[in-house]
């Protein structure tokens, strides 16, 4: 390898000197300008030589291997940080990436923008599952307080409101079979999908023993919760994180796929073949 480079350098210098002399003679450059012309031609030849050297380097097996290693890193990140494997398939996931490994450090040199995105991803993904569970817990607790009903679909509605999927104004309400129901999405036939928010037996007619439906206070408590829940500070913070996550994920996926398709590396890392 070293002998090859030395021979290449000698050949380049001899070739360049001959070419410079030849070109200057052919152009009949006036005497005082000869050093300037020599210098210029020499620089052009040097740049050409460097270009040739670079292109040879990029065809070398070591370079190909290095590129394959970095592309392998991009693939591993996608498979471990953005997805989880289970029997017969893959599901979306949110896991952190170890950016301190030697391969990750090399990768960061060649793909600095993507490395920045991975740092952002790590900040969001750290403790992600715990936060998802925490927010679900908040929705359930809030629902229970407002409806006193464990079978209510109110937690799902609160989740959609809290995560900014829907606005409170987009929810439709009705009382059906003595139950307060809400609709915030459509079923597969494009019809409003109704979900139970309060049970029908919260008030009973003491004489007839039959349900009277929700009291006005019950309905007002639910509506007040719908109005205030998305503005609670922890909910606002969670929504911010959720939106940042949902925005970054497809961008990251795209950038990782781009990295896997790259044929030429930019920059030089500690393990780049010379
Ligand atoms: Zn490298």
How crowded is the C-beta side of 150, counted as CA atoms within 13 Å?
0
Q: Is the pLDDT of residue 100 over 80?
A: yes
Q: Which pLDDT value is given to residue 2?
A: 57
Q: What is the pLDDT of residues 41-74, one digit of tens each?
A: 778 777 877 776 666 667 799 999 999 999 999 9
Q: Distance from the CA of 61 to the center of ligand 1, in angstroms?
A: 13
d(Cα 178, Cα 218) in Å, to the nearest integer?
A: 12
Q: Distance from the CA of 63 to the center of ligand 1, in angstroms?
A: 8
Q: Distance from the CA of 127 to the center of ligand 1, in angstroms?
A: 32
Q: Distance from the CA of 183 to the center of ligand 1, in angstroms?
A: 55
Q: How far is CA 5 from CA 9, 54, 59, 267, 268, in A?
A: 6, 12, 15, 21, 19
Q: Distance from the CA of 101 to the center of ligand 1, in angstroms?
A: 14
Q: Is the pLDDT of residue 1 over 60?
A: no
Q: Distance from the CA of 269 to the center of ligand 1, in angstroms?
A: 4
First to last CA, the chain: 10
Decide which of 196 and 19 is more confident.
196
Q: Distance from the CA of 29 to the center of ligand 1, in angstroms?
A: 44
Q: Distance from the CA of 118 to the center of ligand 1, in angstroms?
A: 18
28 — pLDDT class (breaks 50, 70, 90): confident
Q: What is the pLDDT of residues 130-187, one digit of tens each?
A: 999 999 999 999 999 999 888 899 999 999 999 999 999 999 999 998 899 999 999 9
Which tokens go with 182? 């809400």
Instruction: Give the distance, in angstroms, between the CA of residue 116 and the centroid of all CA atoms in the same chain.
Output: 11
Q: How many CB atoms lie within 10 A of CB 104?
A: 17
Q: 172 CB contacts (<8 Å, ≥6 apart)?
A: 182, 183, 184, 192
Q: How many CB atoms lie within 10 A of CB 138?
A: 19
User: What is the dihedral sign for C-alpha 192, 197, 200, 206?
Assistant: negative
Residues 149 and 198: beta-carbon distance below 8 Å:
yes
Q: Which pLDDT value is given to residue 16?
A: 73
The mean per-residue pLDDT over the stretch 24-39 comes to 79
Q: Distance from the CA of 120 to the center of ligand 1, in angstroms?
A: 23
Residues 124 and 244: beta-carbon distance below 8 Å:
yes
Q: How many CB atoms lie within 10 A of CB 196?
A: 18
Q: What is the pLDDT of residues 187-237, one digit of tens each?
A: 999 999 999 999 876 566 666 666 677 888 999 999 999 999 999 999 999
Q: Which pLDDT value is given to residue 4?
A: 66
Q: Distance from the CA of 245 to the center of ligand 1, in angstroms?
A: 29
Write down the pTM of the prediction. 0.73
Residues 188 and 175: beta-carbon distance below 8 Å:
no
Q: Which pLDDT value is given to residue 67?
A: 96
Q: 42 CB contacts (<8 Å, ≥6 apart)?
A: 16, 20
Residues having C-beta closer than 5 Å to ion ligand 1: 269, 272
Listed residue (117, 150, 89) closest to 252, CA to CA: 117
């Amino acid at each position: 390898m070293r002998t090859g480079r030395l021979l290449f350098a000698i050949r380049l210098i001899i070739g360049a000197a001959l070419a410079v002399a030849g070109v200057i003679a052919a152009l009949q450059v006036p005497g005082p300008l000869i050093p300037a012309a020599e210098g210029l031609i020499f620089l052009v030849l040097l740049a050409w030589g460097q270009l040739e050297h670079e292109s040879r380097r990029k065809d070398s097996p070591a370079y190909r291997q290095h590129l394959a290693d970095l592309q392998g890193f991009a693939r591993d990140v996608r498979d471990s940080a953005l997805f989880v494997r289970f029997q017969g398939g893959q599901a979306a996931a949110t896991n952190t990436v170890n950016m301190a490994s030697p391969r990750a450090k090399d990768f960061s040199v060649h793909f600095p923008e993507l490395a920045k995105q991975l740092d952002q991803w790590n900040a969001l993904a750290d403790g992600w599952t715990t936060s998802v569970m925490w927010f679900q817990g908040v929705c359930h607790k809030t629902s229970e307080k407002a409806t006193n009903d464990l079978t209510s679909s109110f937690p799902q509605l609160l989740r959609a409101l809290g995560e900014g999927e829907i606005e409170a104004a987009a929810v439709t309400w009705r009382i059906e079979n003595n139950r307060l129901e809400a609709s915030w999405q459509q079923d597969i036939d494009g019809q409003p999908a109704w979900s139970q928010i309060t049970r029908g037996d919260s008030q009973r007619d003491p004489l007839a023993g039959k349900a009277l439906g929700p009291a006005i206070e019950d309905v007002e408590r639910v509506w007040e919760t719908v109005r205030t829940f998305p503005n609670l500070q922890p909910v606002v913070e969670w929504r911010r994180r959720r939106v940042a996550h949902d925005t970054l994920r497809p961008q990251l996926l795209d950038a990782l796929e781009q990295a896997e398709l790259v044929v030429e590396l930019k920059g030089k890392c500690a393990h780049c073949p010379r």
